[in-house]
Structure 1
Amino acid sequence: MPLFITSLNSGSNGNCYYIGNEQEAILVDAGISCRETEKRMKRLGLCMSKVKAIFISHEHSDHIRGLSVLSTKYQLPVYITPQTLHYGRLDLQQNLVMPFMADQPVQIGTLTVTAFPKFHDAADPHSFVVTCHDTKVGIFTDIGTPCDNLINHFSDCHAAFLEANYDDEMLDNGYYPYHLKRRIRSDKGHLSNAQALNLFTAYKPAHMSHLLLAHLSKNNNCPNLVSDLFTTHAAGTEVIVASRYAETPVYTIAGSAIIPKVVPPKVDRKKVARGKANIGIQQEIIW
């Protein structure tokens, strides 16, 4: 059974991702207003009545800004960890709060949602993988460094939302103060273009049909630069840059149980985390 995915918005001004099938869907994060979520879904021909739950990755405002209104209006359960709920200071109906735990699958109709911890400067941050039968989609943003869990899940996905937050040179030459640049680059900050590209090239499975590059910095990145960089190494995967201003089209993701998992090349995972793995890419392109 295929999955239908779109980024309703992606960036520091708000994040919201839709993953569903013909019967039901979920949202990962609700960082744009309820009204804007409704408008964008309507333009895409998506129905709010199919959305059965919202999963929250962490408590930063660009991931929860529209959550309370959206959840209350549509009586949507919110899957959220106790720490994220506490530090997000959210006004949610108690009966709609559903705690989740890492590596314990949550069943939403025919969708299986599994969370795993990630490195980010939040109380209890998680990434998610959504599975429907033989189709698997990952939502991997707001990550300081690729951990083994991320690498393992990424190498299994038929599609993924993957953070490519900043270009190293643009960040170096930009106006951000030193402490903020250091935070962005830290192991609890964000993935650079180089880190994301190394992860993509080293661990992309042969069956990955779509990659949506997400959470681009407004000031330290360029959509055209990122698109050109990843498309050069796409090897059959369609690369889409998710906008911070509008929704993407809806993409159909269809898995196949008969496609073998390709064993990725041996790569130093520490170098992947730093964006410096030797994967046959000219260094001047990615560093």
Structure 2
Amino acid sequence: MSKLEICALASGSNGNCYYVGNDQEALLVDAGLSARQLQLRLADKGIDEAKIKGILITHEHCDHARGARVFSKRLQIPVYITKKTFLALGKANQPANVVWFDPDKSFQLGEFDVHPFSKSHDAVEACSFRISYNGKHVGVMTDIGQACERVKAHFSECHAVFLESNYDESMLQNGSYPIFLKDRVSSALGHLSNTQAYELADQFAGVNLSTILLSHISADNNKPEIAEAVFHPLRKRFRVELTSRHASTEIFQL
């Protein structure tokens, strides 16, 4: 079997897309960029788009789903989505080729085993994913208000994880966001702070975890160097990398 490889094509409030693949097949988690931009970023990383067998959608927010309809049509690939999330997209954004999945019920997508799980976020049926191939497990864990027991359990299985490190508590509270938005971001239905993400990684990493990609870093309430500094004590245990809203990461092999 070929090696598992991962890449954050984009990660942030203006668009999210995470690539998981091997030599023959691949999938995307979310398609929050335009179809054109997705194709450009895949080409820039030398990823053959013909390998992509499907797109997994975590929830209906536009920074996770805006490119799914057009991109799936161009590549003639299905979009894996829950029925409630599909309806929440609205008719203009609903892809034509869909495969339904149920939260917390695993399924197979090509050579990959996909384990969706419900999470705490302000969307109708938000899910995260743990994706498995050849004994390796990759988690895509962003847009999480709090680390519930499901998150902790799936996190402990991972060899690599795209982990939300969205905001710095001080920057959020002292920043320009209105009170209601500050409350929303920091609530149990919002996002993980740098500190919350660190605590999850420090306390619930399994013996196999080797790589953490700090993801969905806020442009207004965080800085990459702040998130990186919070995670500095874990660098003795794990490889810690930053993702970006502006460009793709390198391709990491597991």
**TM-score, normalization by structure 1:** 0.86
Deviation of the 1:141 alpha carbon: 0.4
2 CA distance for matches of 1:137 and 1:91?
Answer: 27
Asked whether the equivalents of residues 82 and 103 of structure 2 are also in contact (C-alpha less than 8 Å), the reply is no
Deviation of the 1:244 alpha carbon: 0.9
1 CA distance for matches of 2:230 and 2:193?
Answer: 12
The aligned amino acid for 1:198 is E
Asked whether the equivalents of residues 10 and 248 of structure 2 are also in contact (C-alpha less than 8 Å), the reply is yes
* Mean CA deviation greater in 103-112 or 175-184: 103-112
Deviation of the 1:110 alpha carbon: 1.5
Q: Which residue of structure 2 aligns with residue 60 of structure 1? A: 61
The aligned amino acid for 2:198 is L
The aligned amino acid for 1:84 is T
2 CA distance for matches of 1:92 and 1:167?
Answer: 35
The aligned amino acid for 2:94 is D
Runs (4+) of structure 1 moved beyond 4 Å?
none
The question of 1:150 aligning with 2:151 is answered: yes
Instruction: Compare CA radii of gyration and give the structure with the larger one.
Output: 1
Q: Which residue of structure 2 aligns with residue 263 of structure 1? A: none
Q: SS state of the match for residue 5, structure 1?
A: strand
2 CA distance for matches of 1:25 and 1:182?
Answer: 37
2 CA distance for matches of 1:69 and 1:170?
Answer: 36
Asked whether the equivalents of residues 16 and 64 of structure 2 are also in contact (C-alpha less than 8 Å), the reply is yes
Return the match for 1:92 from 84, 92, 95. 95
The alignment covers a number of residue pairs equal to 251
2 CA distance for matches of 1:235 and 1:221?
Answer: 23
The equivalences for 1:1-287 within 5 A come to 1=1, 2-89=3-90, 90-93=93-96, 96-253=97-254
2 CA distance for matches of 1:236 and 1:92?
Answer: 41
Q: Percent identity?
A: 44
Q: SS state of the match for residue 235, structure 2?
A: coil
Q: Which segments of 5 or more consecutive residues in structure 2 lack a partner in the other structure?
A: none
Q: Which segments of 5 or more consecutive residues in structure 1 lack a partner in the other structure?
A: 254-287
Deviation of the 1:102 alpha carbon: 2.1
**TM-score, normalization by structure 2:** 0.96
Question: What is the CA RMSD across the aligned residues, in angstroms?
Answer: 1.0
